[in-house]
Amino acid sequence: MVDYSGYEHILAERDGNILTLTLNRPDRMNAVNGRLHTELSTIFREVNRDNEAWAVILTGAGRAFCAGGDIGGMASSESGSNLEHRVAEVRGEAQEIVYSILDLEKPLVGKINGAAVGLGATVALLCDVVVASEKARIGDRHVNVGLVAGDGGAVIWPWLVGINKAKELLMTGELIQGDDLARLGIVNHLVDSEELDAFCLTKARELAGMAPYALRATKQTLNKILKKQAEEVMDVGLAWEWLSMRQDDHREATAAFVEKREAHFTGG
């Protein structure tokens, strides 16, 4: 049995052959810091070799699924060689997060209990069955902090909403909520918040009860499409995102976020 006790910001709980993974930084709306980013890049490979887990539920602790990158942490990041070294690591981890989710053979149910933003939205929408409560808000706000949406948004959004709608959403950072989540095909199911836990557990048990080889091979056949998309766009997307981290507009956006004021972009 795989031991997940070494993870600091991801909790793993078992209910028979159902494994629930919970992003666990509730005081920060499960925003992704360096440690959680690294853990997301490794955990799905471990789940893949967990023979006791036949279906997986992924959710967030507290009132959010995942608020994306920890903007406060961005504003206080180190500069110079340490930053350059960490950015290189993060680029590799960002690819591995997307690839390892797509390579996961077990069915993955996304339980979206609140905001899923940026990388949080990408992780949520890469799940096989996405179930959202009426409190959920989903969107990619990279551009709102002066960053290129390079870490997976361009992989999944066009397949869900079409290319033009995806461009609009990724260029404006609009958060989608309520009935629009289902109408646009962003989520599979929209349920009342008090029904979310039971619905997701029932769905996970249904999937775990299917013939494992047939289900997993069917999933992997379909995910070949998304894996090809990821391989085509993520290298350039992450390179452009790295360049955007060095722009004055990104520094202005993170400062404005911390100072709770409107950002003033100059194009630099």
Place of tokens 């903007």: 71
Asked, for residue 259, whether it belongs to a domain, the answer is no
Asked, for residue 254, whether it belongs to a domain, the answer is no
Residue type for position 132? A
Asked, for residue 268, whether it belongs to a domain, the answer is no
Here the CATH number for the domain that contains residue 112 is: 3.90.226.10
Asked, for residue 184, whether it belongs to a domain, the answer is yes
For the chain, the domain total comes to 1
Per-residue pLDDT of the chain (268 residues; tens, 9 = 90+): 899 999 999 999 999 999 999 999 999 999 999 999 999 999 999 999 999 999 999 999 999 999 998 876 655 554 444 555 556 677 899 999 999 999 999 999 999 999 999 999 999 999 999 999 999 999 999 999 999 999 999 999 999 999 999 999 999 999 999 999 999 999 999 999 999 999 999 999 999 999 999 999 999 999 999 999 999 999 999 999 999 999 999 999 989 988 999 999 998 7
What is the Cβ-side half-sphere exposure of residue 256, based on CA atoms within 13 angstroms? 14
pTM beyond cutoff 0.85:
yes
Asked, for residue 219, whether it belongs to a domain, the answer is no
* Helices 34-48 + 81-103 axis angle, to 10: 30
Asked, for residue 258, whether it belongs to a domain, the answer is no
Place of tokens 């919970």: 22
Asked, for residue 3, whether it belongs to a domain, the answer is no
Asked, for residue 128, whether it belongs to a domain, the answer is yes
Q: Which domain holds residue 173?
A: 10-213
Q: How many CB atoms lie within 10 A of CB 184?
A: 15
The dihedral formed by the CA atoms of 111, 112, 113 and 115, expressed in degrees to the nearest 10: 160
